């Protein structure tokens, strides 16, 4: 497309590269890729203004399959590289693709800082609770006791909760979804619309090294009992018939699962989701026997790349046009005759 041609309508095909996808058969990454390729055209994204930056790991092969600009960088550093891209050209729509190992082990530091700075990016953390590309060692999100080649007697590491990490880092947008969910495009859309760093944890099945670890949540039959889809301003109910819900236990200052109509529980007792409430979001990160999905937290805060621009404009107002001649003569000069 030349810059002068009329605005083109894009389809999934326009965002699909000519590269053969090389993930294992049955990998959850396929579903996430498809959701992304389907969703971007509906967001008004263009291939030329979209950039995917990844680190290392199975998920980080993602950019090769998107017909956009892409940079498959080094282990853990994608958030830093993406920050640089955004600083060079704030107009670009930049997505970071990372995993539980890439983003929370080797790259934990960068994830922390990109979130607290609130750089205008979307960060997708594919969480399969395992190291796939190195053949199945436990990851920082693996459950205690997980038996792997490097933990024959079970992992003794306490796992990190990605959404809790993000909130703790000061993220302004925190969401959760899973690979094969029909609602994944909604989460991607919400992340894209957010100004600032938007963090989505995507539960993702690794059929080879950690098959079925999220089955209770993602299975069509058992899922409804374990999926709590959050909607701002709506009561937090779930279950096949919406019969379950979350109630605030004022003694423990925690949320508890209750069944409406049992033990005197009424709809009035169910907490309404307020995605601007950080305390509530914190409670939703790690619930007993149910997984909160959708947007846990959303807040408009100062955006890093916008602040950089503001400071640059201030400097331009204050100092005027750049003048190298004057710069080199700042301070004291003298003339030898």
**86 to each of 49, 134, 257, 287, 311, how far by Cα in Å?**
11, 31, 42, 35, 16
Neighbouring residues of 78: CB distance < 8 A, sequence distance ≥ 6 = 53, 54, 55, 60, 96, 97, 98, 102, 103, 107, 110
* Position 311 contacts another protein (CB under 8 A): yes
Strands 291-298, 173-178: pairing is antiparallel
Which listed residue (32, 80, 104, 255) binds another protein by CB under 8 A?
80
Tokens at residue 246, please? 């979350």
Tokens at residue 281, please? 């979001």
Distance of CA 88 to the CA centre of its chain: 22
- Enter the DSSP assignment of 269: G
How many CB atoms are located within 10 Å of the residue 21 CB?
Answer: 14
> Angle between the 108-117 and 78-88 helix axes, to the nearest 10 degrees?
30
| Nearer to another protein (CB atom), residue 18 or residue 262 | 18
Nearest-Å Rg of the Cα atoms of the chain is 23
Tokens at residue 160, please? 């990190």
* Position 127 contacts another protein (CB under 8 A): no
DSSP β-bridge partners for residue 292: 228
* Position 1 contacts another protein (CB under 8 A): yes
Q: How many residues bind another protein (CB under 8 A)?
A: 63
Provide, rounded to whole angstroms, the least separation between the CB of residue 154 and another protein. 32
* Position 256 contacts another protein (CB under 8 A): no
* Position 192 contacts another protein (CB under 8 A): no
Provide, rounded to whole angstroms, the least separation between the CB of residue 297 and another protein. 22
Provide, rounded to whole angstroms, the least separation between the CB of residue 160 and another protein. 18
CA 156 to CA 313: how far, in whole Å?
52
* Position 71 contacts another protein (CB under 8 A): yes
Q: Which stretch binds another protein (CB under 8 A): 29-37, 202-210, 220-228, 312-320?
A: 312-320
* Position 153 contacts another protein (CB under 8 A): no
| Nearer to another protein (CB atom), residue 4 or residue 241 | 4
Which listed residue (45, 68, 172, 210) binds another protein by CB under 8 A?
68
| Nearer to another protein (CB atom), residue 47 or residue 185 | 47
* Position 92 contacts another protein (CB under 8 A): yes
Sign of CA dihedral 293, 296, 300, 301: negative
Provide, rounded to whole angstroms, the least separation between the CB of residue 92 and another protein. 5
Which 97-116 positions form the footprint of another protein (CB under 8 A)? 109-110, 112-113
Q: Which stretch binds another protein (CB under 8 A): 194-202, 233-241, 282-290, 305-313?
A: 305-313
- Residues lying near another protein in the complex (CB under 8 A): 1-3, 17, 19, 46-49, 51, 53, 56, 63-64, 66-74, 77, 79-89, 91-92, 109-110, 112-113, 308, 311-312, 315-316, 318-322, 324-325, 327-329, 331-337
């Amino acid at each position: 497309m030349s810059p002068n041609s009329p605005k083109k309508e894009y389809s999934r095909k326009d965002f699909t590269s000519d590269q053969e996808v090389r993930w294992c058969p049955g990998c959850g990454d396929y579903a996430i890729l498809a959701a992304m390729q389907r969703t971007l055209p509906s967001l008004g994204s263009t291939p030329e203004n979209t950039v995917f930056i990844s680190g290392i790991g199975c998920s980080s092969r993602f950019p090769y399959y998107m017909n956009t600009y892409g940079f498959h960088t080094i282990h853990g550093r994608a958030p830093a590289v993406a920050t640089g891209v955004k600083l060079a050209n704030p107009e670009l729509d930049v997505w970071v693709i990372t995993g539980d190992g890439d983003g929370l082990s080797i790259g934990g530091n960068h994830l922390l800082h990109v979130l607290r700075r609130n750089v205008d990016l979307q960060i997708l953390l594919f969480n399969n609770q395992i190291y796939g590309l190195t053949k199945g060692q436990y990851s920082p999100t693996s459950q205690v006791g997980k038996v792997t080649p490097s933990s024959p007697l079970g992992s003794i590491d306490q796992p990190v909760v990605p959404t809790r990490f993000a909130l703790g880092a000061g993220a302004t947008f925190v969401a959760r979804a899973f690979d094969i969910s029909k609602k994944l495009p909604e989460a991607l859309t919400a992340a894209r619309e957010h100004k600032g760093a938007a963090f989505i944890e995507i539960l993702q099945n690794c059929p080879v090294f950690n098959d079925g670890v999220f089955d209770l949540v993602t299975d069509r039959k058992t899922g409804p009992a374990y999926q709590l889809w959050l909607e701002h301003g709506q009561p937090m109910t779930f279950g096949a018939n919406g019969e379950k819900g979350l109630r605030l236990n004022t003694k423990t200052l925690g949320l508890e699962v209750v069944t409406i109509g049992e033990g005197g529980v009424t709809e009035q007792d169910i907490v309404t989701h307020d995605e601007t409430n950080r305390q509530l979001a914190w409670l939703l990160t790690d619930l007993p026997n149910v997984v909160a999905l959708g947007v846990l937290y959303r807040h408009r805060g100062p955006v890093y790349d916008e602040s950089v621009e503001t400071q640059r404009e201030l400097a331009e107002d204050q100092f005027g046009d750049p003048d190298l001649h004057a710069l080199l003569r700042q301070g004291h000069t003298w003339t030898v005759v």
